[in-house]
Structure 1
Amino acid sequence: MNPATVPQETALLRRYRHRIHGVPRNLVIQPTGFCNLDCTYCYLPDRDAKAPMPTAVAEAVARSESELVGELMGGHSRKPLGLIWHAGEPLALGRRRFTELLRPFEELRRKGLLEHAVQRNATLLNDEWCDLLTEYGFRVGVSVDGPADLTARRIDRKGRPAFDRIMKGIERLRRHGVPFSLIAVVSRETITHPDRLLDFLAALRPVSIGLNIEESEGVNTERHPPTREQAVEFWRKVLAWSRRQPGGTAPVRELERLGRYLRMSRAQRPDRTHLSRADPLPTIAKNGDVFLLSPELAGVTAPAYNDFRAGNILEQSIGAILGQAHRLTYVGEFLTGLEECESTCEFFDYCRGSQAGNRYFEHQTFAVAETDYCRVTEQAPVLALADTVREEQATRPFWNSSPPTTPPPSRI
């Protein structure tokens, strides 16, 4: 390295380490881009491609993970490294090929150093798949957007509704005793029905419920996501619904996150900044290419950013790729965006800058502070909680309290 560039390199590395964890807590693996469904809001650019991940790629990932888990278990976390099987529909690979890709990780899993997770649409589930998921200790997530009419945008490649097949898959999970979480995509069409949506999802008895407000990302750029005003009203009703539920009802993921933040704020934990640094979240595509910060960047054509490739697992380990991450143009832009967030946004203490991919898909750059995703998914729940507190304070007898005040969102 040219001695003149050493100070610049040191500054880049310092910025990176201040904002992003040196060791990932999760890795995303995309064994195929193909999906048997053709949901109208899907963001995947290559969901028609059926070529599977070669076993050599999985073996290279496993070798890298063997290096990472030593750092992880000896550093900031004692939790297993999460390996998240994602992208199109992982189960579309078939059990034989999927099992072949799992084998390289089995020693790590048996030692308790790695934990598998899979997000899927449940339409391909049968008894044999349930047995495999149990055998390998998978955490299972299922995507369903509510009752049949609210799930109407989940269709197969012939345009037929997938709802009945999704429900049969969920019933198989329950019959086999496989715990599962649920994720629902909330659109402009469904955001006005939170009680009906949540009643339906809770009745399926998941371990948790996630509510993803529809986003503009990947190839899903024609639809218009909900506004912040719609989202605030939605989250107000979600809060009210949650408070009415008896003990044992599946928690809503976003409210749990908000609660953890409040507890951490009250405790004034000195390690908050460390705990809230972004996970670099390496994502490994089926050909071994590695992408950082956002799985949605995989497969996107963007010549100015070298299509977001950070390296290839067949050529470099994850550790080596992360060791050079601070030099990537899009990573540097993301750090600039985070710095802008911290200096201008009252919500930063809660969300810590949020998602990288949404910046690019909404603005074609990462060096921006606020996105629609921020407004509906990060800001709106906080504003909804503030509104709820304000209303409850206003209804208390005047002789029992001083004039109500609501702290700014960053302090709630």
Structure 2
Amino acid sequence: MLNPLPTGRPAPMIETVVVQPTPFCNINCRYCYLPDRNQKAQMELSVITTLFSKIFASGWAADQLTVIWHAGEPLVLPVSYYETAFQAIEALRPPEIVVRHAIQTNGMLLTPDWCALFKQWDVGVGVSIDGPQALHDANRVTRSGRGTFAQTIAGLRLLRRENVQFHVISVLSAESLQSPEAMLDFYLAEGVEDICFNVEESEGDHVSGLFAAADTPRRFREFLSRFWTLARQSGRVRFIREIDDMLERIFRPESCGMGNAQVEPFSMLNVGCDGSTSSFSPELLGLKNAAYNDFIVGNILTDSLEAMLAGEAMTAMTRDIAAGVEICRRSCEYFSVCGGGAPVNKLSENGGFSSGATSFCKLTEMIPADLALAAFDQLERTMGEQAPPTTDIAALAAAK
């Protein structure tokens, strides 16, 4: 158990560290929210060692600590950069803590050397690809406006040849919502077994027309229901995040509480390449808001975690995010599977943290929950006593 703070409040538990090795990205997606993706700065090794020295010394690190290298295209830096960084973190790691690294990439720069690194360090790999070429190239383009599908699919196929486990994240556009069959056919043809969807949303300076459309919830519901049914019938899709994560949250044992890392201070610790530090939704890093000091609670090079936790920016965000969580608790029947929503989406859609449901909530929480519950009801009506118990998540997932 973590020791309480001198104030008597429970100490935070750092479960995820989002590290920005560079804000630079080699492409220019039309829906990207990152404001500094043209900057070629990179995180110095001194920032990495200071960051993890302070995390491990604080006693606040969870037994399982996930380190996500993100917020730019991480593979624009060389393999040697991560070899040095991973070795430095490993040298600092207390024996009782397990560190798992993860990288989200557009896949265009993958090589056999990258694959060797991923296998050596058991790195979780996510590839951003939006489905078949026409759908992918509509938004994921180079700085000159050319599609990136050919390079991305080459990287994905390399991962398969090198036996590197990976998942994909696909941003759904208005066009892809009409094409669950084509999306599934693409994944099956490319041997993709683990799939995550992000509906194009409004964040930072990007305003999504899809979110504003009145029929988007209906269209997403129809897409996800059809995709789930076809995927299960195929027997070749192992994981659909929107469904499988939701099943675990709905049918979890009563003894398991509902956690939401995005609403707890430092549960997600987000660090920019210059050491600037934020928390809560990782997308807040790099955004601007004078009321919260641009969401920066300090700098890991100069400030202690304790000082950042007690500072004005963190105090203000914690207060207002907690108020928003309480609004959700009182007003939303989906609170038990959500835990208060994503602060960045409340800010982007509602204008403030101290608010309730968003369109993002409806798409990512409410619709998947409704589909999962409806499928279970149908399963019970069809199978009766032969229906799998609610504790058998794998059987429930396969029974659609």
In 2, the alpha carbon distance for the partners of 1:126 and 1:160 equals 22
Match of residue 130 from structure 2 = 145
Mapping for residues 28-39 of structure 1, pairs under 5 Å: 28-39=18-29
Mapping for residues 165-204 of structure 1, pairs under 5 Å: 165-204=151-190
Unpaired stretches in structure 2, ≥5 consecutive residues = 1-5, 386-400
In 2, the alpha carbon distance for the partners of 1:337 and 1:199 equals 40
Match of residue 52 from structure 2 = 62
The two structures have a TM-score, normalised by structure 2, of 0.85
Pairs aligned (count): 372
The two structures have a TM-score, normalised by structure 1, of 0.82
Match of residue 239 from structure 2 = 251
Mapping for residues 260-275 of structure 1, pairs under 5 Å: 260-264=248-252, 267-269=253-255, 271-273=256-258, 275=259
Answer yes or no: is the 8 Å Cα contact 1:232–1:383 preserved in 2: no
Unpaired stretches in structure 1, ≥5 consecutive residues = 1-8, 402-412
The amino acid across from 1:262 in the alignment is I
From 167, 191, 195, the counterpart of 1:209: 195
1:364 is displaced (CA, Å) by: 2.4
Match of residue 367 from structure 1 = 354
Deviations 1:195-249 (A, max 9, x none): 3213322443345211111110022125333622222222222332243132x53
Match of residue 101 from structure 1 = 85
In 2, the alpha carbon distance for the partners of 1:146 and 1:109 equals 38
SS in 2 for 1:272: coil
From 290, 310, 316, the counterpart of 2:303: 316
In 2, the alpha carbon distance for the partners of 1:127 and 1:229 equals 43
Deviations 1:156-180 (A, max 9, x none): 1121111010011111111221111
In 1, the alpha carbon distance for the partners of 2:18 and 2:117 equals 20
In 2, the alpha carbon distance for the partners of 1:356 and 1:203 equals 37
Q: Report which stretch shifted further, 49-58 or 118-127.
A: 49-58
Deviations 1:2-49 (A, max 9, x none): xxxxxxx97xx86xx6xxx82121100011111001111111001101
Q: Report which stretch shifted further, 123-132 or 139-148.
A: 123-132
SS in 2 for 1:188: coil
Match of residue 44 from structure 1 = 34
Match of residue 289 from structure 2 = 302
Match of residue 206 from structure 2 = 220
In 2, the alpha carbon distance for the partners of 1:130 and 1:108 equals 25
From 318, 330, 348, the counterpart of 2:335: 348
1:325 is displaced (CA, Å) by: 8.0
Mapping for residues 127-138 of structure 1, pairs under 5 Å: 127-138=112-123
Answer yes or no: is the 8 Å Cα contact 2:12–2:60 preserved in 1: no
In 1, the alpha carbon distance for the partners of 2:100 and 2:250 equals 28
In 2, the alpha carbon distance for the partners of 1:144 and 1:330 equals 33
- Relative to 1, partners in 2 of residues 1:389 and 1:55: Cα closer, same or farther, differing over 3 Å? closer
SS in 1 for 2:201: coil
The amino acid across from 1:51 in the alignment is A
1:253 is displaced (CA, Å) by: 1.1
- Relative to 1, partners in 2 of residues 1:206 and 1:324: Cα closer, same or farther, differing over 3 Å? farther
Answer yes or no: is the 8 Å Cα contact 1:182–1:201 preserved in 2: no
Match of residue 396 from structure 2 = none
- Relative to 1, partners in 2 of residues 1:327 and 1:98: Cα closer, same or farther, differing over 3 Å? closer
Deviations 1:360-380 (A, max 9, x none): 111221111011100111111
In 2, the alpha carbon distance for the partners of 1:272 and 1:389 equals 22
RMSD: 2.7
Match of residue 394 from structure 2 = none
By relative contact order (CA 8 Å, sep 6+), the higher-ranking structure is 1
